[in-house]
Structure 1
Amino acid sequence: MPVRLRKFVGTILIIVLVVTYALVATTVASALLGASPWWVHLLYFFFSGLLWILPAMLVIKWMEKPV
């Protein structure tokens, strides 16, 4: 696959990943954390805010792979 096409596909994948992940993380938070204390919310959003980076790193690594 040419580099330009791989970067285009990777960019689309990252956008879809971020939007889907944000919707799922927010839905889980609203369903499970409604009556939790503030520090549980803080921990949840801290870790869920960092967790999307792992699959995004894999996509970026794939995008930068030599031909």
Structure 2
Amino acid sequence: MPQRLRKLVGTVLMLVLVVFWALMAMALAQGRVTELHWALQTVCYVLLGSLWVLPAALIIRWMERPDKKA
């Protein structure tokens, strides 16, 4: 797959990831997280807000791979 097409697919995947992650994080935050102690709530919110970076980094690494030489 050429890099240009990988970047297009990766961009769409990133948008899907961000929307899915935001909806999942909101659902979790509205559920059990509100019943926790404030310190545990803070930890949960920090984790929910930052863990999306890991799959995003994998997508970006895949997007930036150079083309294979024929």
Task: Name structure 1 gaps, 5 residues minimum.
Answer: none
What is the percent sequence identity of the aligned residues? 46
SS of the aligned residue for 2:26 comes to helix
Residue 65 of structure 2 is matched in structure 1 by: 65
* CA RMSD across the alignment: 1.0
What does 1:1-67 align with in structure 2 at a 5 Å threshold?
1-67=1-67
Task: Name structure 2 gaps, 5 residues minimum.
Answer: none
The letter for the 1-side match of 2:39 is W
C-alpha separation between the residues in 1 aligned to 2:16 and 2:39? 29
The letter for the 2-side match of 1:32 is R
- Runs of 4 or more, structure 1, over 3 Å off, are none
1:32 Cα shift?
0.7
Count, aligned residues: 67
SS of the aligned residue for 1:33 comes to helix
**Higher Rg:** 2
Deviations 1:13-59 (A, max 9, x none): 00100110110011011111222233222111111111000000000
TM-score by length of 2: 0.86
